[in-house]
Amino acid sequence: MARMADSRPTAYDVVLFGATGFTGGLTAERLAADAPEGLRWAIAGRDPRKLEAVRSRLTSVGPAGEHVGLVTADVTDAATLRSLAEQTSVVATTVGPFMEYGEPLVAACADTGTDYADITGEAEFVDRMWLAHHKRAVRTGARLVHSCGFDSIPHDVGTWYTVKQLPEGVPITVSGYVRGRGTASGGTYHTVVRGLSRARQSSSAAAERRQVEGRGGGGGGGARRVRALPRRPTKPPDGRGLALPLPSIDPVVVRRSARAMDRYGPDFSYGHYALVRRLSMAVGAPLALGGMLAAAQAPLGRDLLLKLRKQGDGPSPQQRAKSWFEVRFVGAGGGRRVVTEVSGGDPGYDETAMMLSQSALCLALDELPPTAGQVTTVQAMGDALLSRLQAAGMSFRVVESA
């Protein structure tokens, strides 16, 4: 299937929207350092002066930084977003919260057949974008790829890597155990609080999507089954601490990849857990999250939570240097058991910038499966993205195999 975007002449291969923000700036630096010779790329935002300042900084980062273009676009001006999308094969964006600012750019990419990648972890946003724009993107050939950062690449691609170590055509069970250290920015904190305040709306969007997919909206089906493992605390494989069900978008993305691809087997199950070593954390973390969830439902409580942290710059280079993540996957199928590990540095910023930049380059430059519409990272990019992540320094390894 030829993609409409393949035959559309564009000025750029990749445009990064939001380059004047904290995570956007880090992503621009990764593109400047990692982009191959000859890449046609640009940075985009609403303030030309700030864009010029970013470009000046990029000239000293890497060869690609000397050849970056500038595109002015504003999330409140649909015409500028349409113009941005028409100029490039791929748009990568860091502009959030995505429920507040994200849809106009998704719509522009779906309309023009332009590939789209973001770093959202907002499940409601992903569901609402599928409901509003998936079918049109299928028609135009646009690939809409959400969650191209720590949400959810290590978990999605890590599960894919694990499944590939197991026999084909057999029922497969995978459990992912996440642990790490990192410092959240004020912007990330505000996104989390706003997300908690919309728990009911998020559940409603998910239910509506399930209903449409169940009527033949592209949710898979047939004889294959894809399921979630029971969401209850359990012991991790090494018996140390406790594994708590992790209510993030990551397991949802993993299961969507599994529904789309036969390689996950005829009956696939996935569980997603936070690995907690200390009993105090095992008790305190759910209580704290439950308290925030309850407080965020009322406007007064939400406002009080938001006042606890100011939006602004993210963690310092020194703080990011001390940050890390590790995801252990335990997979079983066909009489075999495998333990794999995906690990890297600062998850929320340095590694997210790398993952988004590599996703954009992968969409723009690599030979990929002929997909269109809203697709997951594995569904859209699979082994090509895995290879890029490994080359960029993210570790994927088999720990045990039996």
308 CA to centre of own chain = 26
Has residue 3 got a pLDDT over 60? no
- Segment 197-216, tens digit of pLDDT: 677 888 899 999 999 988 54
pLDDT at 308: 62
CA angle 41, 44, 47 (to 5 degrees): 145
Residue-range domain boundaries for the chain: 4-148+350-391, 153-346+394-401
Distance from C-alpha of 172 to C-alpha of 334, rounded to nearest angstrom: 8
402 CA to centre of own chain = 31
- Segment 164-193, tens digit of pLDDT: 999 999 999 999 999 998 876 666 665 666
pLDDT at 342: 98
Distance from C-alpha of 335 to C-alpha of 170, rounded to nearest angstrom: 9
pLDDT at 140: 97
Kindly write down the DSSP assignment for every residue of 333-388, as one continuous string. ETTEEEEEEEEES-TTTHHHHHHHHHHHHHHHHS------EE--HHHHHHHHHHHH
Contact partners, residue 357, CB within 8 Å, separation at least 6: 16, 27, 30, 31, 34, 35, 92
How far is the CA of 37 from the CAs of 13, 26, 31, 34, 365, in angstroms?
12, 20, 11, 9, 12
Question: How many C-beta neighbours within 10 Å does residue 65 have?
Answer: 22
Distance from C-alpha of 129 to C-alpha of 212, rounded to nearest angstrom: 13
The CB-side HSE value for 387 (13 A sphere, CA atoms) comes to 9
pLDDT at 280: 46
For the question of whether the overall pTM of this predicted structure is more than 0.85, the answer is yes
Distance from C-alpha of 65 to C-alpha of 56, rounded to nearest angstrom: 9
DSSP 3-state of 14: strand
User: How would CATH label the architecture of 153-346+394-401?
Assistant: 2-Layer Sandwich (3.30)
Tokens 């998020």 found at:
202
- Segment 108-167, tens digit of pLDDT: 999 999 999 999 999 999 999 999 999 999 999 999 999 999 999 999 999 999 999 999
| Average pLDDT for 259-263 | 97
pLDDT above 70 as % of the chain: 84
Class of domain 4-148+350-391: alpha beta
DSSP 3-state of 207: helix
